[in-house]
Amino acid sequence: MCSITQGSPYYIFFSRFNKNEYDLNRNFPDAFENNSEAIQPETQAVKNWLKSETFILSANLHGGALVASYPFDNGVPETGTKRGHSITPDNDVFEYLAYTYSSRNPEMRTGNFCKNSVNFRNGITNGYTWYPLKGGMQDYNYIWAQCFEITLEVSCCKYPPAENLPNFWNNNRDSLISYMKQVHLGIKGQVFDVNKNPIPNAIVESNDRNHICPYRTNRFGEYYLLLLPGSYTINATVPGRTTILKQVTIPENMQNSSALRVDFHFPFQVKSNYNVTTRVSCSEVPLYLYFRSHSDRLKSHFIFFFLLTFVSIFHIK
């Protein structure tokens, strides 16, 4: 971050902190542990922006290394932390996105251009594997904004001089263009009622990759799912009503033109007071901690039920 202090003369200083001395990439709500830091104006502005548009794919650029890092940055045992990583339900897509970027950057793809102690295979890394962090933007975007984001470290020097900009552009131009094309990866479509009215806030996901915060349609009934070529069962659900399943096969190289369109038509009419202005999202709390505690409660209830049933059967005999 570059800050300008007004006065006579002007002072420019570089820091990873804002005016209030907060690291903004540790300031977002976290899905794995409580983040007690006060939300900063810059963070809130990003959150508001994410809610105002339907973002599908994004990247944030940093300095200090040469690597494409993908979620999760934080984690719990359920996401693989005991094995040294923390992976999303869309890990195959994230690895592909990160490699799409790194493989076209002549310095990043070497994996060790900065000559530090870390060797990044193919110039990519899982964020948690590199180092865990709480409150990062890429995890927030993926979980709560339905936007696939990776972190691009594009300079060995944390604060490189301006005269290096032409070299940065030459090294990253092809990567940036190729990465942006991936917004067409997978499928897209709309969810309609019987009168062809769009249905907002319907849940649309692939059966093999349910998100901790379900991905929903926007106010126009539109959805977007980044998926690699292959066969999938797509589940469209209007909460409280019904579900439609569709078998979908995504061909190779679709991202060079447009995502495969798959619409869903439900056999009922949307109520006139149905929410059509905002997309429903999950509470900005540590969702994975809730998931774990909820699973533990279910497990304990099951064990109790099993023991009770076993005792009853034994007693009957």
Phi-psi region of 193 (alpha: psi -120 to 50; beta: other; left: phi over 0): beta
Nearest to 168 by CA among 182, 146, 153: 153
- With contact defined as beta carbons under 8 Å apart, do 112 and 119 qualify? yes
User: pLDDT (tens digit, 0 to 9) for every residue of the chain, 317 residues total?
Assistant: 544 444 545 555 567 799 999 999 999 999 999 999 999 999 999 999 999 999 999 999 999 999 999 999 999 999 999 999 999 999 999 999 999 999 999 999 999 899 876 899 999 999 999 999 999 999 999 999 999 999 999 999 988 999 999 999 999 999 999 999 999 999 999 999 999 999 999 999 999 998 999 999 999 999 999 999 999 999 999 998 999 999 999 999 877 789 999 999 999 998 755 555 566 779 999 999 877 654 443 344 433 333 343 333 334 33
**32-37, long-range: CB < 8 A, 24+ apart:** 32/72, 32/74, 32/75, 32/76, 32/79, 32/134, 32/286, 32/288, 32/289, 33/74, 33/134, 33/286, 33/289, 34/285, 34/286, 35/134, 35/135, 37/135
Please tell me which residue in 153, 163, 252, 284 is annotated as part of the active site: 153
* Parallel/antiparallel/unpaired status of strands 260-261 and 187-192: parallel
pLDDT score at 116 = 74
Tell me the C-alpha distance between 265 and 221, whole Å. 11
Active site annotation includes 153 = yes
pLDDT score at 275 = 54
Secondary element (H or E) of residue 135: none
Instruction: Decide: pTM greater than 0.85.
Output: yes
Judging by beta carbons within 10 Å of its beta carbon (0-12, 13-18, 19+), is residue 179 exposed, middle or buried?
buried
